[in-house]
Every structure is written in structure tokens, then in C-alpha cells.
Chains A and B, each alone.
Chain A
Amino acid sequence: EAGVAQSPRYKIIEKRQSVAFWCNPISGHATLYWYQQILGQGPKLLIQFQNNGVVDDSQLPKDRFSAERLKGVDSTLKIQPAKLEDSAVYLCASSPSRGHEFFGQGTRLTVV
């Protein structure tokens, strides 16, 4: 089966600019996640969707980060404005109703 698709793979922006990441989960997976992985750390959950609805966004910096999942399929994560500390790999994952998570290759963001 096709895996989780993410784009772009790499992005370099200046601080205070905005950026958006896109994720297409595995077909049929109801649950979608965005994780932030800072260099040298484990991934940290930013937001979790169940179909169209948000299940958990407790660690999402809502003053600058936003995410949506249209029609319960694709999702976008946006940062506006970006800060230097947002430099990280942003991982998208999806899971079926009963099963473990499948991860995409991630988007490496560098804020300069």
C-alpha cells in the first residue's frame, strides 16, 4: 500500500515568514497526527485529528501554528510567523481505527 506522503521535503525560510506543510495519509486511515521533532529529541505530538475533528491539540502553539484536515483526508500544517526555534522536522502520521501509526518521511524546516 502507498505510504504517508508529505511535501515539501525541505524548506528554508527567514524568521517571521510563513510556511505550510502538506500531508496525505494512507487511504482509509481515520486518524492523522502532526509531530515536531527537534534535533536530538524524540517526536512531540502537535495535533491529532480523528476524521475532520481535532482530538488533541494541547501542545500546539496556537498563537502561530494552525492545522486543518479537509474532508477527513489531506491535512495542512501552517506556521505564521516562524521563529528560529521552529527549526525541526515535521512528521505526519496516520493510523487505522485499530493499529499502530505509519509515518511519512517528514519535512525538514530551517528558519534563518
Chain B
Amino acid sequence: DTAVSQTPKYLVTQMGNDKSIKCEQNLGHDTMYWYKQDSKKFLKIMFSYNNKELIINETVPNRFSPKSPDKAHLNLHINSLELGDSAVYFCASSHKVHNSPLHFGNGTRLTVT
């Protein structure tokens, strides 16, 4: 039983294209996140949704648009992809209470050529 699953695992595309990454969690959590991990493995939060409401929106280009159709799903759409968008994108979920750890998906490796 996969707790946090994201698809696709790999995504190779050309500059200028639009792509989406999907994420689903079956843990009953009320909060979901998108993190970006760059080539140096630095991990930074991008967005967070609590019960379908956007609660964290870090300094991310508006080419990135998250969408949460329900609290078990959080998708990430990226318009006009750029070379610098190449990274591993992680979906995560948790309860929105302090000390609730994050549960991560296995990541989507995005390569923009």
C-alpha cells in the first residue's frame, strides 16, 4: 500500500512545454506539500494545501500552479518549462498539527532539455 504516490517517476521534456505531476495520499492527512530538490540535494518547500486551501506559497514563479481537487490529491502544473526547472519534485503529506512528520512520495525527476 503506497502511502504517498506521485506520477510520473521520470519526466523528460523540452523547454517551453507544459507538464503536470500528480500526487495522491491515502493516509487521511489534511495537508499536502510540494518540495523541490535541486542537483545539490537542497530541499525547499514550494506550496502547501490544507483541506484544499493554499496555505503556503513560497517564492515560486507563477509558471508553477498547484491544484488540489480534494484533500487526498495535490497536482502540480508547470507552464513554459525552463532548463532551471530540472530537479526532483517531491510530494508530501502530514496532519496540520505541530510535530506531525512529513510523509514523502518517491519523487518525480524532471529533466528539461
Co-assembled chains A and B: no
List residues of B whose CB falls within 8 A of some A CB: none
List residues of A whose CB falls within 8 A of some B CB: none
